[in-house]
Amino acid sequence: MQEEKKKKLAMVIFSGDMDKLFAAFSIAAGAAASNMDVTMFFTFWGLRGIKANVKTGKSLFGRMLGVMYGGDINRANPSKMSFGGIGRWMFKKMMKAKNVPSLPELRQTAIDLGVKLYGCQMSMEVMEIPREKMIDDVAECVGVAFFIEQAQKADATLFI
């Protein structure tokens, strides 16, 4: 009964950029802290947000992608001023200097507050990133129909 009355936020996380993931997890954690029910649907580049730090890819292209866009959430670069990793390092420094939580810490907070993480099955197949290459906190790997269902029930929807 109480569950039904909870306000709901449904998010698509398409981007794997450091700054956008930061915005996404901030909003998710903030919404969960405000007693909202939060669903994050990770697709395409966004899969980095829930990937473990392991190699991926089976086919030639899959392995190439795994090398070029590999690593976990810590490897995410900002969408601007990436400078081959310098931007990432710089933003981490700046955030630490202001006592802002790091991206993995922020994700953990979101998870602890009950935010549910879902992987997009189709992009996982195309990018050759199977379930076992992801962090354990991922609830399930689902199709786009799952997101649609969430969005229909949601009070707010965001594509990031």
Contacts with a second copy by CB under 8 A lie at 7, 9-10, 12, 14, 19-20, 22-23, 26-27, 30-31, 33-34, 36, 43-45, 59, 61-62, 64-65, 68-69, 79-81, 90-91, 93-95, 97-98, 100, 122, 125-127, 143-145, 147-149, 151-152, 154-160
- Closest C-alpha among 86, 103, 109, 96 to residue 48: 103
| Least Å from the CB of residue 32 to a second copy | 9
How far apart are the C-alpha atoms of 112 and 37, rounded to whole Å? 13
| Least Å from the CB of residue 34 to a second copy | 5
CB of 117 or CB of 160, closer to a second copy: 160
How far apart are the C-alpha atoms of 36 and 110, rounded to whole Å? 12
Structure tokens at 87: 């931007």
How far apart are the C-alpha atoms of 141 and 150, rounded to whole Å? 14
